[in-house]
Amino acid sequence: MSGRRAFHERHQARAEAQAREWLARREALQGQWLTWVAGQLYQLEPAEYAAMVRRELQRLTDAE
């Protein structure tokens, strides 16, 4: 198994949970939510994990 695939499999559930948690804050933050999420994503490490969370946010938002 490639390193990238192994990383993805190890962290997928955590990335989805993080995205759901952030989406749950959208109503409370309203217009500030996108700015807040951008700041949160910027702070996540490693970058590969941040990208996973961003993709999960997109997937969950598209499913609404």
Tokens of 24: 């749950």
Neighbours of 56 (CB within 10 A): 20
pTM, rounded to two decimals: 0.89
Distance CA 58, CA 54 (A): 6
What's the total number of domains in the chain? 1
Domain residues for 8? 3-63
pLDDT score of 64: 81
pLDDT score of 1: 66
Q: Report, as ranges of residue numbers, the positions in the chain whose pLDDT lies below 50.
A: none
pLDDT score of 45: 95
